[in-house]
Amino acid sequence: MSTEFSKFQDDIVFWGPPASGKSWLINAFAKELQNYEGDPNFYYELKDSVTDVPIFPSPEPIAGTSKISDSVWEFSRKAKKHSFSHEVSSHIHRIRIRDDRGYSTFTLDNMLTKATFREFDSVFLLLDPTSVGNTNEESDIKISPSLYAEKIRNLFETMNLSSGSQRFIAVCITKIDQLGARQRDPWEIINIYFGNDLYKILNQYRSFTNLSIQTFSTSAFGFLPTVKREPNYDPSTGTLRSPDLWEPYNVASPFFWIFENIERRRIMKFAYDSFLQKLLFRNDRLKNYIPYPVKRK
């Protein structure tokens, strides 16, 4: 089945204020995939779609995004076992990831940025709890819970949700390592750190039939393997305390959640050529589909 769907491209865009960790999240996904090398059921691979070169994560400091740019990757989940369930769960995603300046995504201040959020079906919505109450140096904007709520409402209004296209929004609470609250439900963290207005806005749009929203606690830097699970974050430099012990926390889950939604939709829409085949067999394929290992916290 993976080759059956290899021609499709999945577009993913990132939203978040400056320094919320958009570029680091992308890098950390490539790093966390290494933890799945021992998975008994599937190979997980990520490579540059143009050069076929595997994506190698780097623990080096990442400069903030200065302009809008696209990366085209190819992610694949390939079966290690020969069974109907493993075959129906093997897919390739050619993904165009659009990264934009935090200021542009936060304020939606230009037409290209607005067009991106109208057109791309999958959105990573990054909420940085460490930014609340601070003035961002890049934009000179004081980030408050009410400002978050205002900007995210603007984002939903920009997305043209009346178009009928199914959209997926992974709400990622970033830098969870710096809160010491990773075991709390992400919805609870949103209510505590970002306020009831944003909590209600997200739940309001959650009721839209063509919009799937899920929340995740994530950390691109992760934790040190100590008894107290200290953050692998150096506040004096804003970089990793120990690059050799870099283990991102739960960064793969929002990607996996989006991939699984897309794959289930593929099975429903494209699995067979004729209407009769779809009617007879698509539910059988969905029943045998193996979900991704997704954790929310």
- Distance in angstroms (rounded) separating the CA atoms of residues 143 and 223: 26
| Residue 256 within any structural domain of the chain | yes
The pLDDT score that the predictor gives to residue 66 is 57
Residue type, 57: P
| Residue 25 within any structural domain of the chain | yes
Lowest mean pLDDT among 21-35, 241-255, 268-282: 268-282
Tell me 291's DSSP state.
P
Among residues 67, 68, 70, 90, which one has the least CA distance to residue 2? 90
Strand 167-173 and strand 211-217: the pairing is parallel
| Residue 236 within any structural domain of the chain | no
| Burial label, 278 (beta-carbon count in 10 A; 0-12, 13-18, 19+) | middle
pLDDT value at 82 more than 70: yes
| Residue 132 within any structural domain of the chain | yes
Which residues, 6 or more positions from 225, have their beta carbon under 8 angstroms from its beta carbon? 245, 247
| Residue 237 within any structural domain of the chain | no
| Residue 297 within any structural domain of the chain | no
Q: 143-182, pLDDT tens digit by residue?
A: 899 999 999 999 999 987 876 788 999 999 999 999 877 7
Tell me 26's DSSP state.
H
Range of the domain at 146: 3-221+248-288
- Give the CATH number, domain containing residue 53: 3.40.50.300
Residue type, 87: E
| Residue 233 within any structural domain of the chain | no
Q: 183-237, pLDDT tens digit by residue?
A: 899 999 999 999 999 999 999 999 998 899 999 999 999 999 887 889 999 999 8
Q: 126-144, pLDDT tens digit by residue?
A: 999 998 887 766 667 788 9
| Residue 199 within any structural domain of the chain | yes
Q: What is the dihedral of CA 269, 274, 280, 285, to 10 degrees?
A: -40
- Distance in angstroms (rounded) separating the CA atoms of residues 177 and 293: 21
> Chain centroid to CA 116: how far?
16
Tokens of 111: 């037409």
DSSP 52-104: -PBP----S--PPP-S-EEEEEEEEEEESS-SHHHHHT-EEEEEEEEE--HHH
- Count of domains forming the chain: 1
